[in-house]
A and B are shown apart, each in its own frame.
Chain A
Amino acid sequence: MSNQQNFGPGSVVDPNQLNQITQAIAGLNASQLTWVSGFVAGLAAAQDPNAVNIASSATTSVAEPAGSLTIIYGSQTGNAKGIATAYQAKASEAGISAKVVSMADYKPRQIKNETHVAIVVSTHGEGEAPDDAVELHEFLGSKKAPKLPNLKYAVLGLGDTSYEFFCQTAKDFDTRLATLGATAIVERVDCDVDYDSVAAQWQDDVLAKIKDDLTAKTTHVPVAPAANSATVASIYNKKSPFAGTLLTSQKITGRDSIKDIRHIEISLEDSGIQYQAGDALGVYFLNDDTIVKRILGAYNLNEDEMVTVGEESMTLATALTEKCELTLSYPTFIKALAESTGDKALSTLLADKAALREYLVPRQIVDIAIDYPVKLTSQQLVDACRPLTARLYSIASSQTEVEDEVHLTVALVEYEEHGFVHQGGASGYLAKRLEEGASVKVYVESNDNFRLPSDPNTPVIMVGPGTGIAPFRAFMQERDAQEAAGKNWLFFGNPSFTQDFLYQTEWQSYVKSGLLSKVSLAFSRDQAEKIYVQHRLIEQGAEVYEWLQAGAHFYVCGDANHMAKDVEQALLNIYQTHGKQSADEAKQSLLALRKAKRYQKDVY
């Protein structure tokens, strides 16, 4: 925000420019203006980090090469890979360095950073994309797909004319890329079973065209409107959340898992919201309709009756859906009800604190309503409820990777009691009740106590079993983008390898690329004895100690009650065993680590 002061009228812009700017922003509301301020600051930062001047034009001159060639292949058999690899060699002979990547390893969003792409793809069965290609194929056809006006592409289809949907996947790629605004370098070529010569011809044709493109001396390209993360503060906060859009709610545990964990993607498009790896997202939710109806029924109240919440007047149904905390239970609810209704049974329950606590733990407000259907007014009910608060989730993405999206890893709470389904407030909302494309109110809760080391060379150890994995996905995306040289070691655990290995394929590709140096896994139910992350830490104690001695930062995310304590105990154990320290010295070491901000926890 400090940059904004430098843009004051009369200092760096002349009256004419000021006039143009004023015209351009006329009619924008407060949040749009804030966004523009960040956008403009980003432009400045992109041109020169210390800029005091604003660019007068949105284009700039860049030197060659004006792009690079990426060859992306996808097929069930090795044919496409063979062609792609051969093509790379050919390109290299022509003086063009090309990257070859399998669609299985290709991050779909990466496509918008490409300039020249050659796609070699086969078609599966009845015109479907081969398994490796499914993700990219779907992405390019989805509403998430970015516009690609600067992309040049060529598609080679591999197929068999005896099939009805000959080279359908190649055709899809062709049309989808064209629809997104990309330009075909040459017309798509569809090969039959005997593809060698046709494929070779296509390679030569494309290469000839690309060579022209890539040897162009200077071109003018628009400056990417990437705002610098540090320069923008959002006007959105807990009091005034942003209405984001739920893009994806995808179950990421297998069909036989005992858990239902969701990967959630929310669009923050046009909000100007910036967050950092380690931050949390506050999510507001609406209570479950069916639960509201059950409460109304239990108390025999009319949903249309008007009540007052704070200073607002609204119907009882609206208040219960939007304003009242219904999925947690709390003693003040019993207290307020006992006092306002004078009900004896409730007073008795209230008198024994221990019994009350025990009673409340497994219950939501609806269960209390069913157990104690006292006679009360609508206003008394609303007044007895705590105000609904947002739920905080550790953010599972980095904006260097996902830009204007935010990702979460959410464990769905859902169980049956009293013959009907109970859900967690926000988890049920995000996972089940909210449809993709619908709006959800969110804000960023900054967490400066959970940050990657400022030095990209510093090694990090991340312990994140279950949904505790979330911030480490953000960390790895961030470190990947930074091309950070520091080593990264992930400890993850969950019940079963085949069902609960959250983001397995992403960790696999990070290991393949070398970003993740080590992954230590603890799947508690895959063998007779239960194995947890703390056991893996102790097993690997010598090396953990080595990493810590080398300056590693140590992060823990997840369950506070058991896991975090057990992990801390394991750390103490490691200092004692491998650092030859006494119990006291180990405690001191840990304290020092914490003070140096090298031991950070995000536990709940």
Chain B
Amino acid sequence: MSDNKNLIVEGKLAVNERIKGESNFLRGTITKDLGDDLTGGFTSDNFQLIRFHGMYQQDDRDIRPERLKQKLEPLHNVMLRARLPGGVITSKQWLAIDKFADDYTSYGSIRLTTRQTFQFHGVLKPHIKLMHQTLNAVGIDSIATAGDVNRNVLCTSNPEVSHFHQEAYQWAIKISEHLLPKTRAYAEVWLDGEKVETTDEEPILGSNYLPRKFKTTVVIPPQNDVDVHANDLNFVAIQDNGKLIGFNVLVGGGLAMTHGDHTTFPRKADNFGFIGLDDTLAIAEAVVKTQRDWGNRVNRKNAKTKYTLERVGVDVFKAEVEKRADVMFSEPKPFEFTGRGDRYGWVEGVDGLHHLTCFIENGRILDYPGKTLKSGCKAIAEIHPGEFRMTANQNLVIAGVPGELKAKVEALALANGLMPQVSQQRKDSMACVSLPTCPLAMAEAERYLPDAVTEIESLLAKHGLADESIIYRITGCPNGCGRAMLAEVGLVGKGPGKYNLHLGGNRAGTRIPKMYKENITDVEIMAILDELIGQWASGRQANEGFGDFVIRSGVIAEVIDSAKDFYA
């Protein structure tokens, strides 16, 4: 490790490095921008910096051309992504966010996301501080849920093993807190916190923070609901006789790529080995610090942990982590992932409390005609003493319901459309937010998904597979929030109405699908799926999933080492 030349990419630093470096620990001139009433947006540097505070500047892209003609700027607003390690939120907190969504967001919704948290969409600049103060009053913040930092830490939301979940969840909180930025910028800028005359320090993240986003999970096998291979750092819970004894540590997953740039690709995480519980935070810190120092700060497209591993080698990276943490990884403990979906409906935990998992299409909690999801959640929050858990599949668990309230909660859930009768296919389908709010979106995702699923349902029925399902995911751009790069059928937005079609992931989320056709329309995609589902129906082996079938039958090649074969 003495030869730093190979470990650090030399060259002109990426623009974001200047922005971070000059930001005075993420303050920038955000406060000045808040006072500028000529625009609803932020200036370019602050546009980047507010992400570290959990917000993205967005606008309603549907009406962007119309407003340009009206000589009005785009309808700038911010999206806020809260920090909720493990997706856990209390009823009291729920009521507060429900009200804020009504009063101050243009879309009026609470959007559950694949990062196991919620987003507000459409908050105007004059209401941003109020939003943070409202959240702060109920103990929620949005620190580091975006930007080049360790983001919201995910945790399997399996409700059956409550005590085990509780332990894992506590680790998710500890890791999140440990890796959080220490700057007082958030408190000063948004909460009118006192300006303390001390120099900020970032002992873990450094004054330039990380080279790129960094994502962490705590996962309880056999569930892989958090999709470990989409994350930089994963702690796989290992138990012995029902007791958590430590973690296997998986490093370097990630799905983002850039269209047309073959130096970017989705990549699965590598198993570094097993550690005991006491070493958890030290290892987390060492992985982050190694990536902090070795990650590519010249080219942001190659800045994530996965590329650092490819460049320096997994062994070199792992040895550095061991050295920095002063912990040696032992042999990985055996574990297996069997699936990723949520268990819908009621389950009783070992503690005797009841948990209701509700299917929320697209994670969008809003009142629809005949489906008053938002009112339903609010009504439940008003009587429910427990908590809600957002899942990494964008669903909602009403957790810890005492026996005497179960009937009441169920009645409310039924009356408000929170327990819909939907097909397995719909449950196994997912989309990111995309248009009209996401500035990166290239094609529809959330708004297209419901109809797309209906079409796939009819294709399955047509080929006599109505009870089967395919892990089907749409993501509006190659950054991949919709995790299409771990689907059996994955669509990646390429342009309006056009997608790259990927095939060949598996149900457990341990295989990356390969591109089958580039830049094709929804109609072309359905025609291809019609053909392939037909082949699957006639040629499948017992219980063979669609993704396994297309590989075995040679429709598509298997991606084994994506650095080498994803584009091959």
Q: A: which residues have CB within 8 A of B?
A: 125-126, 131, 134-135, 160, 162-164, 192-194, 250-255, 263, 497-499, 501-508, 511, 519, 521, 526-527
**Neighbouring B residues of A263 by C-beta, 8 Å:** 71
- Please report which residues of chain B, range 87-129, place their CB below 8 angstroms from some CB of chain A when the two chains form the complex: 124, 126
Sample (17) of A-B pairs whose CB atoms are under 8 Å apart: A125-B496, A126-B495, A160-B260, A162-B519, A193-B260, A250-B69, A250-B71, A252-B70, A254-B63, A254-B67, A254-B72, A497-B40, A497-B124, A505-B68, A508-B38, A519-B38, A521-B37
Once the chains bind, are B495 and A131 in contact (CB under 8 Å)?
no
Measured between alpha carbons, how far is A163 from B72 in the docked complex, in Å?
30
**Neighbouring B residues of A254 by C-beta, 8 Å:** 63, 67, 70, 72, 75
Contacts A131-B68, A498-B124, A504-B71 given; does A162 touch B260 at CB 8 Å = yes
Once the chains bind, are B261 and A503 in contact (CB under 8 Å)?
no
Interface centre among B37, B72, B261 (most CB of A within 10 A): B72
Residue B73, interface by CB 8 Å: yes
Contacts A498-B40, A505-B73 given; does A126 touch B497 at CB 8 Å = yes
Once the chains bind, are B70 and A521 in contact (CB under 8 Å)?
no
Once the chains bind, are B519 and A503 in contact (CB under 8 Å)?
no
Measured between alpha carbons, how far is A508 from B72 in the docked complex, in Å?
10
Give me 12 other A-B pairs in contact (C-beta within 8 A), A254-B67, A254-B75, A504-B71 excluded: A126-B496, A131-B64, A131-B74, A134-B65, A162-B518, A252-B71, A498-B72, A498-B75, A504-B73, A505-B72, A508-B73, A511-B38
Residue B39, interface by CB 8 Å: yes
**Neighbouring B residues of A502 by C-beta, 8 Å:** 71
Once the chains bind, are B442 and A503 in contact (CB under 8 Å)?
no
What's the tally of chain B residues with a CB closer than 8 Å to chain A?
Answer: 30
Residue B333, interface by CB 8 Å: no
A509 to chain B, nearest CB (A): 11
Q: B: which residues have CB within 8 A of A?
A: 37-40, 63-75, 124, 126, 259-261, 442, 494-498, 518-519
Measured between alpha carbons, how far is A559 from B387 in the docked complex, in Å?
56
Contacts A507-B38, A511-B38 given; does A160 touch B259 at CB 8 Å = yes
Once the chains bind, are A125 and B495 in contact (CB under 8 Å)?
yes
Smallest Cβ-Cβ distance to B44: which chain A residue: A78
Once the chains bind, are A250 and B75 in contact (CB under 8 Å)?
no
Of B40, B66, B68, B495, which contacts A135 at CB under 8 A?
B68
**Neighbouring B residues of A497 by C-beta, 8 Å:** 37, 40, 124
Contacts A163-B519, A497-B37 given; does A503 touch B75 at CB 8 Å = no
A516 to chain B, nearest CB (A): 9
Of B65, B71, B497, which contacts A506 at CB under 8 A?
B71
**Neighbouring B residues of A498 by C-beta, 8 Å:** 40, 72, 75, 124
Smallest Cβ-Cβ distance to B443: which chain A residue: A125
Of B66, B496, B519, which contacts A255 at CB under 8 A?
B66
**Neighbouring A residues of B64 by C-beta, 8 Å:** 131
Measured between alpha carbons, how far is A501 from B495 in the docked complex, in Å?
32
Measured between alpha carbons, how far is A511 from B498 in the docked complex, in Å?
40
Measured between alpha carbons, how far is A505 from B74 in the docked complex, in Å?
10
Measured between alpha carbons, how far is A549 from B78 in the docked complex, in Å?
42
Once the chains bind, are B70 and A164 in contact (CB under 8 Å)?
no
**Neighbouring A residues of B498 by C-beta, 8 Å:** 126
Smallest Cβ-Cβ distance to A76: which chain B residue: B439
**Neighbouring B residues of A521 by C-beta, 8 Å:** 37-38
Contacts A160-B260, A498-B40, A498-B75 given; does A526 touch B70 at CB 8 Å = no
Once the chains bind, are A162 and B66 in contact (CB under 8 Å)?
no
**Neighbouring A residues of B40 by C-beta, 8 Å:** 497-498
Smallest Cβ-Cβ distance to A248: which chain B residue: B69
B128 to chain A, nearest CB (A): 14
Smallest Cβ-Cβ distance to B497: which chain A residue: A126
Contacts A125-B495, A126-B497, A497-B40 given; does A193 touch B261 at CB 8 Å = yes
